[in-house]
Amino acid sequence: MFLILKMLVLFLLSYIALNLYLFWKRRQYRHIASFPIPISLKWFMGHLPNLRMRINQAPEENFMQIVGEYQKESGEETVVLALFTMNLVLTLDLRIIPKLLTDRITFHKREILKQTLGWCGKTRAFGNHGLLSDPGGDVWAAKRRIMDPAFTRSFLRTTMDGMNKVAERLVKVLNTKAECGQAFDISEFLDRAAFEAISFCGFNWSEEMAAEHGDAALKMARVMVQLTAVVFKNPLSFKNPWGRLPEKEQFKNAVQPIRDLSRKHLEKIGDKAVTENNVLSHIIRGNDCSDDLTMEDVIDDYNVFLVAGMETTSITMACAVWFISMNPHVYQKAQAEVKDVFGDRDQICFEDVQKLVYIEMIIKESLRLKGPAVGTTRQCQSHGTSINGVSFPKGTKFNVPYFNLHVDSRYWKDPEVFDPERFSPASMKNIVPYTYMPFSTGPRNCIGKNFAILEMKVILANIFRKFVVVNATPQETDLMMLGNITIRPKNGVNVRIFTK
């Protein structure tokens, strides 16, 4: 009896101590707007039950979109959510965002990205220092310095043969679709083209290698973005070593073959790889920046560039095709530009791509409305940090939902309307800084941005030159997106195409 009483008192004291600790933690954010937390025995959970409910109600939404909803509802520029012991600050404040995104010493990416993309259970995907998910310490900085030149103009110029080849292969397959005249999902073919662009032009894969391993690489990319989203939403159940998530096994089965293949590829090309001038040679040199990095770290970045390089561009191209198919006047203008630039030729050179100004405007507008990367995260590394008079304790976690900024009516006229003219050279100067960031900005921006734009312009220009694309489901006036770590068209992009 006495023992039970003792246990009860201990439990009560622990409960009080936990609540006092949480009360102290939450007080540190009392100067930031928040939502009321219901007074109940579960007060210590904060907004977590409500967030869980929203995640369950919207299983197809990305985490960033779900928390972005809080932002909209609050009507505040900056709002804090109390999630058990964690406080998550959501901000759209243009006086705070520049500092968050440009000061890489004070603000790293959140560790959760490394925990989900780096390792899924015991399966290594991007590891501890993969360029995308490394929070951003000295190793990341040294690597990025070495890898940045991978995407200079002189390298991009050398990719043109590869880019033309990818476009040619795509046109060939699409011709068969045009001949049969049936509706089909073009995004599958764009996935393949995006994969070929990064593997041919970035990693010197041969056509045979792509034919043999392309499906496995595409599967890895898809599984990684889907499953890491599951982990992102359930970090606790995933970290639990006894947790039997079926996703862990699926993840392993998808990632392991590509790691093995990258290892074999690296062994086969040996020292030759370093002397070349492509993405892979920069990855190898980048991983020489510290003695602590091994061959496994090179493989991490091999996977980072494969996955980051194909998912994003293929999604963007699919959305651009959908917008084009719904906006015939835009399509006509794009086709006129392409005709002008190509003339009678089948291939274009690097200088020609710079002339595809309108196609680039279409890509930029598609990225504004349906950009695959919907936001970013940061975590404060220093005590006494204050931005524009607002103080943030060390460890503060931030989410910046780009998605909300891209359709904010304070910065965009008729934000829901697809209008490439917003990005005409004359209109670009009207865009408010930090309201358009599909490739992020600052030191953690997208390293592959110029590669992506070049690739998308070459591929889209070839589609528009050869085919008339007609939407097969015009009654669907919006393109439904499915939220993983990135967002992608939920039901693909169903079209019919006709040869011109």
Report the C-alpha gap between 57 and 51 in whole angstroms: 10
Select from 88, 446, 461, 493 the one that contacts ligand HEM (CB under 6 A).
446
Q: Which CB atom, from 82 or from 461, has the smaller least distance to ligand HEM?
A: 461
Joined tokens for residue 21: 């600790």
Shortest Cβ 499–ligand HEM spacing (Å) = 28
**Which among 207-215, 228-236, 446-454, 488-496 is the span making contact with ligand HEM, rule CB under 6 A?**
446-454
Residue 313 sits in the site that holds ligand HEM (CB under 6 A): yes
Residue 440 touching ligand HEM (CB under 6 A): yes
* Cβ-closest position to ligand HEM: 448
**Does 132 interact with ligand HEM (rule: CB under 6 A)?**
yes
Phi, psi of 433 (to 5 degrees): -55, 140
Query: Shortest Cβ distance from residue 459 to ligand HEM (Å)?
Result: 12
Among 55-63, 92-100, 205-213, 372-380, which window interacts with ligand HEM (CB under 6 A)? 372-380
Check if the beta carbon of residue 248 is closer than 8 Å to that of residue 123. yes
Q: Where do the H-state alpha helices sit in 294-425? A: 295-326, 328-342, 350-355, 357-370, 402-406
In this structure, are strands 33-34 and 123-124 parallel, antiparallel, or unpaired? unpaired
Choose which of 118, 286, 309, 489 interacts with ligand HEM (CB under 6 A): 309
In Å, how far are 39, 176, 188 from 481, measured between CA atoms?
36, 28, 15
Q: What Å distances lie between residue 235 and 73, 117, 177, 230, 365, CA to CA?
A: 25, 12, 43, 8, 34
Report the alpha-carbon distance of residue 270 to residue 492 in Å, rounded. 40
Question: Strand 385-387 to strand 467-471: parallel, antiparallel, or no bridges (unpaired)?
Answer: unpaired
DSSP string across 42-73: TGGGBTHHHHHHHHHH-TTS-HHHHHHHHHHH
> In angstroms, what is the minimal distance from the CB of 221 to ligand HEM?
12
Choose, by CB under 6 A, the member of 110, 124, 129, 144 that binds ligand HEM.
144
331 binds ligand HEM (CB under 6 A): no
Joined tokens for residue 251: 């993840």
Identify which of residues 124 and 177 has a Cβ nearer to ligand HEM in the complex.
124
439 binds ligand HEM (CB under 6 A): yes
CA–CA separation, 199 and 209 (whole Å): 9
Q: Which residues ranging from 67 to 106 are in contact with ligand HEM (CB under 6 A)?
A: none
CB-wise, 44 or 360, nearer to ligand HEM? 360
**Minimum CB distance to ligand HEM smaller for 131 or for 330:** 131
Look at the alpha carbons of 305, 480, 437, 351 in this order and tell me if their dihedral is positive or negative. Answer: positive
Asked whether position 372 contacts ligand HEM by CB under 6 A, the answer is yes
What minimum distance in Å lies between the beta carbon of 348 and ligand HEM? 19
The reply to whether 316 sits near ligand HEM by the rule CB under 6 A is: yes
Are 91 and 400 within 8 A, CB to CB? yes
> Which of 262, 288, 118 shows the shortest CA–CA distance to 202?
262
Residue 228 or 335 having the CB closest to ligand HEM:
228
- Which residue in the set 205, 412, 451, 467 belongs to the binding site for ligand HEM (CB under 6 A)? 451
Per CB under 6 A, 312 contacts ligand HEM: yes
Which amino acid would we find at residue 103? D
Stretch 278-307: interaction string toward ligand HEM, x if CB under 6 A: --------------------------xx--
Could you tell me the smallest distance in angstroms from the CB atom of residue 362 to ligand HEM?
13
The footprint of ligand HEM (CB under 6 A) covers 109, 131-132, 144, 198, 202, 304-305, 308-309, 312-313, 316, 367, 371-373, 376, 438-440, 444, 446-448, 451-452
